Structure 1
Amino acid sequence: MINRNEFDALVNRVEVLSGRVRDLEGKIQALTESQGREIPSGMAPVTALAAEYGISTKKAEELARNTGVMLVKCKGGGYIAFEEKFRDSARQVLRGAKRKYGSAYWYHPLLGKFQMSGGIPK
């Protein structure tokens, strides 16, 4: 059985720990708010758009630059671009790309030689 002094000491310890937990929750919330920048609507990471069309990220960035799609650099080192404009220009450029019979490489004057998995986009 616990005596009164031990019980009071345990209650005091629990109050101190709950105060520390509240402080840590506040710090975590402040950190997530400062780093939790959302991608604006209508924009998407270039890596996701590149994967959608089966081209490399570098070629997707080059495609965006050469067709006039605005790229915005993020803190992490990647880029985001306007989805619809990128998709329209990617469809147009990738449909115009040519491939020699039996070759794994495609060619377009804006991009040069590149590989594309999945074939020509619809």
Structure 2
Amino acid sequence: MIRTALRWLLALFYAAAGVIHPANPAPFLTIMPPWVPMPELVVALTGIAELAGAAGLLQPWSKPLRRAAGWGLAAYALCVWPANVQHMLNDLAQPDHGLGLGYHIPRLAFQPVLIWLAWWVSRGKT
């Protein structure tokens, strides 16, 4: 039951993020590492990946598809980690230090949990 609830919560989180990415790409573009090519396209594709992953987690008819969605969202969370690091670097470079280490360190530390959670919730019986 907890796994199913967390699967729904994670799917809703990724669905919301998937809508926000193309609707308001500016904040995501500001944290894009400078070495990422075609940042506008990458932001749009990340929104699509989030929506697809959320849909895959919630579909009831195929466990292999749900598991693939879990692996995909786990890989996605790993791939966006550099943007979270870039966000921290950008913030700390500001005179007021932006959101500060009290925000960024827990966010970066939670990333492995998010990776594991995407994998774990996709393995449920329902």
Scaled to the shorter chain, the TM-score interval is: under 0.3
**More helix, by proportion:** 2
Greater length-normalized contact order (CA 8 Å, ≥ 6 residues apart) = 2
**More strand, by proportion:** 1
**Structure whose alpha-carbon radius of gyration is higher:** 1
